[in-house]
Amino acid sequence: MGYTIAQKIIKNHLVCGEMTVGKEIGLKIDQTLTQDATGTMAYLQFEAMGIDRVKTELSVAYIDHNTLPAGFENADDHRYIQTVTKKHGIRFSRPGNGICHQVHLERFAKPCKTLIGSDSHTPTAGGIGMLGMGAGGLDVAVAMGGGTYYITMPKMIKVNLVGKLSDYVGAKDVILEVLRILGVKGGVGAIVEYGGEGVKTLSVPQRATITNMGAELGATSSIFPSDEVTREFLKAEGREEDYIELSSDQDAVFDAEYTIDLSALKPLAACPHSPDNVKAVAELSGMPIHQVCIGSCTNSSMQDMLTVAAMLKGKTVHPSVSLSISPGSKQVYTMLAECGALADLINAGARILECACGPCIGMGFSPQSAGVSLRTFNRNFLARSGTADAQVYLVSPETAAASAIAGVFTDPTTLGNAPCVKMPKAFKINDNLIEMPVKAEDMDSVTVERGPNIKPIPVGKAPDKNLQCELILKVGDDITTDHIMPAGTKVLPYRSNVPKLSEFCFTVCDKDFPERAKKKGGGVILGGANYGQGSSREHAALVPLYLGIKAVVAKSFARIHVANLINFGIVPMTLVNPEDYENFNEGDCLEIQGFAEAVAGKDEATLVNKTNGKSATLKLTLSSRQREILLAGGRLNYTKQEKK
């Protein structure tokens, strides 16, 4: 039996475990990346491990999230990251150089290599044939120190692409169709591989758009073959030597297969408030809109920008619409300026933002009250835009541009022939905003600068012998990390200040939760299905730890979040019978006799509701390594113990 693309990479990087679906495996990691919303904590954790220099082939710190310095906090975090990376062997991508996933795809991603990043959209690198995976900052810190990265061996899903995209239909429409078919839980525990003749018709940036939003499927990663299209992209980036051909074997076996006819696709939109709430744009045509945002790590490539510029050339954005455009990298921005496309965007009335995440994470450009916002981003979770009652739709750049001109939802395929967009044969290479670290022998010459907003990391404790506490919060299905730990201009500056950050925890669901948790001394959280989906932000585990949360019980968990809970000593447990969810209510007094004993070696435990006398059987799906981490009070304690 042959291997899939992902299985080949896993096999070549396997440190421990067997490649059996559902079993824990450990992987050697070649590259890591961080961004500034998660990076400060990751580097504080790296320092806490006492390791002098990174041991990966390449590690890069990007500044792309908290780039709106309304106060000193963001600037202080950036200075800390700049100095700590210089000291410990990590490259530093300065503010203005671009969004981490776009820049990494351009300058560093390599076929056949492994990459983990403290950002859930790290699978963007799968567009170039790299196995990229989102991870918590602590997992990234451990990998930088030469440690093994652990995942559950995924099953393999194949999406066969046939035909060719029609005019005005984009790669965004491909992944929205996959989301329509599979849903936000359809990729959980799986890697999605794209194959078929249609793959050859897609450029690397288009492939990267598709793998980027594989995160919204809940997938461990998504990946394309490395082929002649890949070679041409790498050649255009001046790094053809990084090319390696990579494809799945003809006799590779997949756990599920789907086929999408690219030529039959029509423009699609993800409606509020979930990326899998997909409808045809034609169904929405004529709906008045108020805002359009083009950019993000999903759709900010040179190809996307040139397409939008060609559609806007000689036209004016509708007076009822505010249009923002965020180029994905300095490379893209510079080339737009030099070829004249930037002038076309400006003349049309677009407001050009810096090369950063910006509106995607609620960092500025929030919609008006109850506004309809069309965004080429990857997530439209409730209130993520910064406006609680905004109606956010996820669309392609083509749909976004057409609608911005018309002032209403517009199917771009009704506009006739698409303008011809020619991609340059070579990209403008200038890495002057990527700072190199000092040599190992000079590291003592670097002073790491820490601002007053950078506070110590909360450290977990071993589980109590018997768990007796209150059900402090009950939430429903598909709770995202944006619900648990919101982003936005008010919150993101405190990512390195957990005590302050705790004031915002779960306030999207319950504005009184932080104060109640502090008053009660913590407790247990009960969630529904797919608890913790979305971003890889470990703060969604770290802040509940600070607030005294000892365990989270849910119908099911998202992959990265459950790993983060374990890393910080919070015990994740699932309901054996999901209907038992109804037997527990906020404020109930709970008990698990032999809690620490269950964590140490049992697969099940009994949760007793002492308020109403009912109970539920809980499943502890933990490897022996994860049990040891929880018994140590988290991975930081566990790593320190390993070093002794």
What pLDDT score does 536 carry? 83
Per the DSSP assignment, residues forming a β-bridge with 146 are none
pLDDT at 69: 78
Q: Which of 537, 539, 561, 627 is catalytic?
A: 537
d(CA 188, CA 214) in angstroms, rounded, equals 10
Number of domains within the chain: 3
Catalytic residue among 30, 36, 64, 276: 64
| Statement to judge: residues 326 and 387 lie in one domain | yes
User: What percent of the chain clears pLDDT 70, i.e. is strictly above it?
Assistant: 100
Residue among 78, 88, 379, 627 flagged as catalytic: 379
The whole-angstrom separation of Cα 210 and Cα 126 is: 9
> Are residues 251 and 286 both part of a single domain?
no
Return d(Cα 506, Cα 215) in angstroms, integer: 22
Give the pLDDT score at 81: 98
CATH number assigned to the domain comprising residue 616: 3.20.19.10
Domain boundary among 231, 247, 264: 264
Residue 439 lies in a domain: no
For position 241, what pLDDT does the model report? 98
> Can you give the pLDDT at residue 643?
62
CA distances from 213 to 120, 127, 177, 632 (A): 9, 11, 11, 35
Q: What residue ranges of the chain have pLDDT lower than 50?
A: none
Asked whether residue 424 is domain-assigned, the answer is no
> Quick one: 384 and 485 in the same domain?
no
On whether both 391 and 489 belong to a single domain, the answer is no
Co-location of 497 and 403 in the same domain: no
Cα separation, 277 vs 528, in Å, equals 19
Pick the catalytic residue from 119, 276, 304, 482: 119
- 126, two tokens: 């799968």
Q: Residue 338 belongs to a domain with what CATH number?
A: 3.30.499.10
Task: Please identify, among 415, 440, 455, the residue that sits at the C-terminal boundary of a domain.
Answer: 415
Quick check: is 86 in a domain?
yes
Question: Does some domain include residue 428?
Answer: no
529 and 555 within one domain: yes
Same domain membership, residue 396 and residue 259 = no
Q: Are residues 570 and 518 in the same domain?
A: yes
Looking at the structure, tell me whether residues 25 and 164 fall in a common domain: yes
Whole-number Cα distances in Å, 540 to 232, 497, 615: 40, 13, 27
**Per the domain annotation, does 452 fall within a domain?**
no
Catalytic residue among 13, 65, 101, 627: 65
| pLDDT tens string 368-422 | 999 999 999 999 998 899 999 999 999 999 999 999 999 999 999 999 999 999 8
Residue 119 phi/psi, 5-degree rounding, is -160, 130
pLDDT at 556: 96
Q: Determine the structural domain holding residue 543 and report its residue range.
A: 467-636
Q: List % helix, strand, coil for the chain (3-state, nearest 5).
A: 35, 20, 45
- Angstrom distance (rounded) from CA 44 to CA 564: 16
- Is 121 annotated as catalytic? no
Q: Decide if 355 is inside a domain.
A: yes
What per-residue confidence (pLDDT) applies to 489? Answer: 83
Q: Is residue 445 part of a domain?
A: no
Residues 208 and 282 in one domain: no
pLDDT tens digits for 502-553?
A: 999 999 999 999 999 999 999 999 999 999 998 888 999 999 999 999 999 9
Closest CA to 155 of 2, 8, 21: 21
64 is a catalytic site residue: yes
In a domain, 592, yes or no: yes
In this structure, are 260 and 272 located in the same domain? no
537 is catalytic: yes
Catalytic entry in 366, 403, 535, 536: 535
The reply to whether 65 belongs to the active site is: yes
41, 19: one domain: yes
Task: Give the SS3 label for residue 239.
Answer: coil
Which of 264, 299, 331 terminates a domain? The answer is 264
